[in-house]
Amino acid sequence: MNKNSNVPTYYFQAIRSIIPYAMKIERPRVPGNGHCTFIVQDNENNKYMFKFNDFDMVFKNIQFNKVLRKNGISVPNLEQHVYKAAWMETYQMIRGRTLYESVKDGLPSNIVRNVYHDIIEDFIKMSQIDVRELPKTEFAEIHQVTQHDVAMNTSKLAAPLFAGAVRVMNHGKKDGLGLYHCGITPKNIIVTPDGKYAGLIDMDDVAISNKNYAFGVMATQYERLGYNPNELIDMYESISGEGLDHKHLERIGKINEFGRWAVWKAGLRQNQK
């Protein structure tokens, strides 16, 4: 361990190889999905996110991040770095904090709805990306990302089952496919200090997906905040002029809730071994 922080020496050295004047290194207050993630502050008080990941996942995230930014979608500008065998994706942090934190501190419901209105506009931009023009990557499709993340963070044995379920939920017409952020949760939404939508983080969840699946994940999280998911559906259909498969969205919501419970149980059993 580095005596000046609670960061393991290997990660400390990797971070300092990129930002030599890193003055403060700490874990995020809102943890992600288990990868080694750190917030780094330099000597000019700029803050950066460092995420250590597999090379193939870093490569996918960098490539798809470029596509999202090119299409005007609000995501940070990722860079990739390597230190010895450690691959990192980094970005200068967006000013603000997560919607999760803001809601806990009493963000008014009308502002929350305004945030989701702006997210819907980004979601529509995602649906317009031609997946045939995307760069070839190892984890291009959302079921591949799911298998990787469940294997890394929960259970290698359960990973193929969850990936299979996600693949089934993504079954549909080819014209329903797009490059979507499939993890639009309050923890991955950044809002400014005055409550305006600032962008989406965590590029692991950006992958080729069926529109209804990606939207269903977002709607499930919206409902968990205490809101009616039909509001979100109406908002999307009104702005985009396109319809969603309401029955499929309902099925996705139920399966996602069961999946969260099953992942928790699988992780609990693995930790007890």
In this predicted structure, what is the pLDDT of residue 252? 84
In this predicted structure, what is the pLDDT of residue 17? 96
In this predicted structure, what is the pLDDT of residue 174? 58
Encoded amino acid at 70, one letter? K
Homologous superfamily of domain range 10-92: Phosphorylase Kinase; domain 1 (3.30.200.20)
CATH domain 97-272 topology: Aminoglycoside 3'-phosphotransferase; Chain: A, domain 2 (3.90.1200)
pLDDT for residue 261 is more than 50: no
3-15, pLDDT tens digit by residue?
445 788 999 999 9
In this predicted structure, what is the pLDDT of residue 172? 59
Specify whether the CB–CB gap between 35 and 51 falls below 8 A.
yes
Confidence of residue 152 (pLDDT cuts 50, 70, 90): confident
Q: What is the location of CATH 3.90.1200.10 in the chain?
A: 97-272
Dihedral, CA of residue 171, residue 175, residue 176 and residue 177, to nearest 10: 80
In this predicted structure, what is the pLDDT of residue 153? 78
Q: How many CA atoms lie within 13 A of 255 on its CB side?
A: 19
pLDDT for residue 254 is more than 80: no
In this predicted structure, what is the pLDDT of residue 31? 60
In this predicted structure, what is the pLDDT of residue 151? 87
In this predicted structure, what is the pLDDT of residue 258? 58
173-222, pLDDT tens digit by residue?
555 889 999 999 999 999 999 999 999 999 999 999 999 999 999 999 99
In this predicted structure, what is the pLDDT of residue 1? 43
**CA atoms of 55 and 77, how far apart (whole Å):** 18
99-109, pLDDT tens digit by residue?
999 999 999 99
**CA atoms of 169 and 258, how far apart (whole Å):** 13
pLDDT for residue 273 is more than 50: no
69-94, pLDDT tens digit by residue?
999 999 999 999 999 989 999 999 98
Average pLDDT, the chain: 88
Q: What is the location of CATH 3.30.200.20 in the chain?
A: 10-92
What phi and psi values does residue 93 have, to the nearest 5 degrees?
-65, 140
Confidence of residue 35 (pLDDT cuts 50, 70, 90): low
Which tops the pLDDT comparison, 259 or 43?
43
Alpha-carbon distances of 201 from 17, 32, 159, 225, 237, rounded to whole Å: 24, 10, 23, 19, 24
Which tops the pLDDT comparison, 152 or 242?
242
